[in-house]
Amino acid sequence: MSRHTQGSLAIVGAIAGAIFLVAFVAMYVLSDYSISAAAFLAVLPAVAAAVVLYRGFADGPQGLGASAPVSATAPAPAPAPVVEAASEPEPAPEPEPEPEPAPAPAPAAASEGQPAGMDGPRDGGADDLKKIKGVGPKLEKLLNSMGYWHFDQIAGWSESDVAWVDENLEGFKGRVTRDDWVAQAGILASGGETEFSKRA
């Protein structure tokens, strides 16, 4: 018999004996039972208590109603979901600056007394100077080389301008005055037609 069992029996016996004495005294003194009757009746609760207590000790702590130890280790918390940071939208590309319009041709360098000319025709292209009476393909090229591309240039010549051009048209001197280029150019520059330009 183990020490645990021996200790349990001693405790059960002591408790059962105490219950027997209490019950015997109560039966004999308070109820006027005889000694034998009081002893018999006191044995019953003592035996019942002894059986219950012995079974409790025999089954161990769980038989006495002790609850199983609860694990003190708390469950590990679930990892927090990883939230990906929203990618920032790429900045919109800056619009390319619009190209600046080409500047108008600069006036050609003029000698003393020469009417102002241009290095080249305007964006719309040169006028057809052959619509002026007295101007053929060769003379048109000569006028272009001197910086004259448009009717309004010729229409704006003053008397001194006409005199200078007349003097410097090699092989065609006096042609500006003789064919009245300024008047013809004025009509053509305004969108009109001359008798010659209608046939040209």
Q: Note whether residue 78 is domain-resident.
A: no
Regarding pTM above 0.75, the answer is no
How many domains does one find in the chain? 2
Query: Would you place residue 138 in the very low, low, confident or very high pLDDT band (cuts 50, 70, 90)?
Result: very high
* Six token digits for residue 29: 């003194």
Residues 6+ apart with CB under 8 A from 137: 130
Picking from 58, 85, 103, the residue at the C-terminal end of a domain is 58
Domain of 185, in residue numbers: 129-199
Q: Note whether residue 66 is domain-resident.
A: no
What number is the average pLDDT over the span 9-18? 74
Q: Note whether residue 65 is domain-resident.
A: no
C-alpha to C-alpha distance for 188 and 194, rounded to whole angstroms: 7
Considering only residues 1 and 130, tell me which one the structure prediction assigns the higher pLDDT.
130
Q: Note whether residue 104 is domain-resident.
A: no
What number is the average pLDDT over the span 113-127? 90
Considering only residues 107 and 79, tell me which one the structure prediction assigns the higher pLDDT.
79
Q: Note whether residue 82 is domain-resident.
A: no
pLDDT digits (tens, 9 = 90+) for 80-112: 666 565 566 677 777 777 766 655 555 444 567
